[in-house]
Amino acid sequence: MAKHKSSQNGVETSAKQKDKSPIVPQRDKISSELHIQQRDNLTDKQKQLIDLILAKDTKIVFVTGPAGTSKTYCAVLAGLMLMNKKSVSDILFIRNIVESATKSLGSLPGEQDDKFAPFLQPLLDKLDELLPKQEVKMLQKEERVQGFPVNYLRGASFNAKCIIGDEMQNLSRGEIQTVITRLGKFSKMILCGDVMQSDIGKTSGFQHIVDLFNDESCRENGIYHFAFTKDDIVRSGVLKFIIERLEIDANKNAQIKNEPMFPVK
């Protein structure tokens, strides 16, 4: 019996031919468009970061820089843009349960969601700034924005998600390894951190992992490092002054130990 054939653009194709690309389990994308209300005063540097995250071949972006440079804001904004482009279905927000190095998730009152709620607040604040209230509620109701403590990630694999790791300087090398190895097909990962604000001291593995994945071969595989400096601070004028003082003090202490830390500009 003859095979049924159809012609597309003048090319004969068999009806029995099948798409042999692998099937990737993933959630349906949002059906409507989000009405994103982004700031109209984004700096050129912030726009460069967002463009890098949105680029087709980008898989992971390590974002470093001091407080006040809008690292988390840019990550959430890019995540919402990816949802509108139907590139990802959800935003996953990952943080370590560290509170000035004094409390763990187990010592906080309530169930898991209650315990993690305070650590999810930066994401909710950015969503409230970027979206109408009804759209924030819709994303929450459909569980398209979720928070995960890093110690609940083992065994997970995330396809077609935007994974935002916040305050990554509060993770050890092993914990960051757990995070980055959760990256599945069609996902984007943005890992933000400020090495000057680690609550876990020398056990922080963020700077080591950033350095490990910061060369040309990494960039060829879609892994990038994007660095803000104190010159990129937009939160307030006095914050830049504070950061400069902290950098000077850190370098002074490092020189005493013969361990240079931060370049003072």
pLDDT in tens, 66-116: 989 999 999 999 999 999 999 999 999 998 876 544 445 454 455 555 665
- Judged against a pLDDT cut of 70, whether residue 3 lies above it is answered with no
* The predicted structure's pLDDT at residue 168: 95
What is the rounded distance in angstroms from the CA atom of residue 76 to the CA atom of residue 48?
15
Poorest-confidence range of 43-57, 166-180, 238-252?
Answer: 238-252
For the beta carbon of residue 152, count every other beta carbon within 10 angstroms. 14
Q: For the domain 42-233, what is the CATH code?
A: 3.40.50.300
* The predicted structure's pLDDT at residue 261: 54
Which residue would you say has higher pLDDT here, 140 or 254? 140
Strands 11-14 and 60-64: unpaired
In the predicted model, what is the mean pLDDT of residues 34-61?
A: 97
Could you tell me the two tokens for 25? 């389990």
Task: Please give the angle made by the CA atoms of 24, 145 and 236, to the nearest 5 degrees.
Answer: 130
Q: Cα 185 to chain center, whole Å?
A: 16
Distances (CA, A) of 137 to 33, 76, 114, 131, 158: 14, 16, 18, 10, 23
- Judged against a pLDDT cut of 70, whether residue 8 lies above it is answered with no
* 68 Cβ neighbours under 8 A, 6+ residues apart: 233, 234, 235, 236, 239, 240, 243
Three-class secondary structure assignment of the chain: CCCCEEEECCEEEECCCCCCCCCCCCCCCCCCCCCCCCCCCCCHHHHHHHHHHHCCCCCEEEEECCCCCCHHHHHHHHHHHHHHCCCCCEEEEEECCCCCCCCCHHHCCCCHHHHHHHHHHHHHHHHHHHCCHHHHHHHHHCCCEEEEEHHHCCCCCECCEEEEECCHHHCCHHHHHHHHCCECCCCEEEEEECHHHCCCHHHCCHHHHHHHCCCHHHHHCCEEEEECCHHHCCCCHHHHHHHHHHHHHHHHHHHHCCCCCCCCC
In the predicted model, what is the mean pLDDT of residues 164-170?
A: 94
The mean pLDDT of the chain is 83
CB burial of residue 113 (10 Å; 0-12, 13-18, 19+):
exposed
Could you tell me the two tokens for 101? 């190095």
Domain ranges of the chain: 42-233, 235-265
